[in-house]
Amino acid sequence: MAPHIPQNGKHRQAKIPQLGKRQMQRKVGIVPNMGNNLKKIRTSLNWTLDRAAEAMGVSRSQYIKLERGERRLTSDYISSAARAFGVSEADIISTRKTVPLVGYVGAGALTYIFGEGQGPFDEVDAPEGATEDTVAVEIRGDSLGTFFDQWLVFYDDVHDPPTPNMIGRLCVVMLADGRQLIKKLMRGSIPGRYTLLSQFEPPMYDVEVVWAALVKQMVPR
């Protein structure tokens, strides 16, 4: 969603629709951590999506959902895939733990969370210490520095108020005006308010933070 710029040239930040991890998965039908090796096997055989779907006896759209983990891989699907690809059933199932990619970080370290009907709703490898609440966003551009373009930022999608252990650390924060940012969280000069710092943007003094989540890890994609 692009920011709205009125004709007078003043910038007004559009509010980004917020969906928690479980709510988002319920709306789009994603089953969390349903990793599989369908894409890896299919591409190793140089098969198209159509060929794989035909070999499994499912529609193209059904196969795509299976490959992406958006449809539960039942025992029947596992058996069909193993026969189609000529591999064992164990080869179909992935033990790789993943977390959902729920949005991206754009200009000004503003985080855009995908809404219903948007995407890609991808799955990425889970970092060490990931929980069922852990999600990822992808940095696009130089909002956090040119070095971090296309890096992944992991955090727990739990919307709790800031806690003392977050002070002085990099966090994903939600402001009262609906903006979601990645900033270093500091105490403000007003009780209950916070100052937000970043390397390339001016400090944001004494802002109201609705919730905050510690950045667990940042890794290149």
pLDDT (0 to 100) of residue 123 = 80
Q: What is the pLDDT of residue 45?
A: 92
Over residues 53-64, the mean pLDDT reads 95
Instruction: Say whether 98-220 and 34-92 share the same fold.
Output: no
DSSP string of 95-151, one letter each residue = ---EEEEEEEE-GGGBEEE--TT-----EEEPPTT--TTEEEEEE-SSTT-GGGTTE
Q: 6-34 pLDDT, tens per residue?
A: 444 444 443 434 444 444 444 433 334 45
Task: Tell me the pLDDT tens digit for each residue of 162-206.
Answer: 999 999 999 999 999 999 999 999 999 999 999 999 988 899 999
Give me the sign of the Cα torsion angle 183, 20, 135, 150: negative
Q: What is the pLDDT of residue 125?
A: 87
Structure tokens at 148: 């971090």
Topology of domain 98-220, per CATH?
A: Umud Fragment, subunit A (2.10.109)
Please name the CATH architecture into which domain 34-92 falls: Orthogonal Bundle (1.10)
Better-predicted residue by pLDDT, 212 or 69:
212
Average pLDDT of the chain is 82
Locate the domains of the chain by residue range: 34-92, 98-220
Distance of alpha carbon 158 from alpha carbon 214, whole angstroms? 10
Res. 118 pLDDT band, cuts 50 70 90 = low
* CA–CA distance, 221 with 213 (Å, rounded to integer): 21
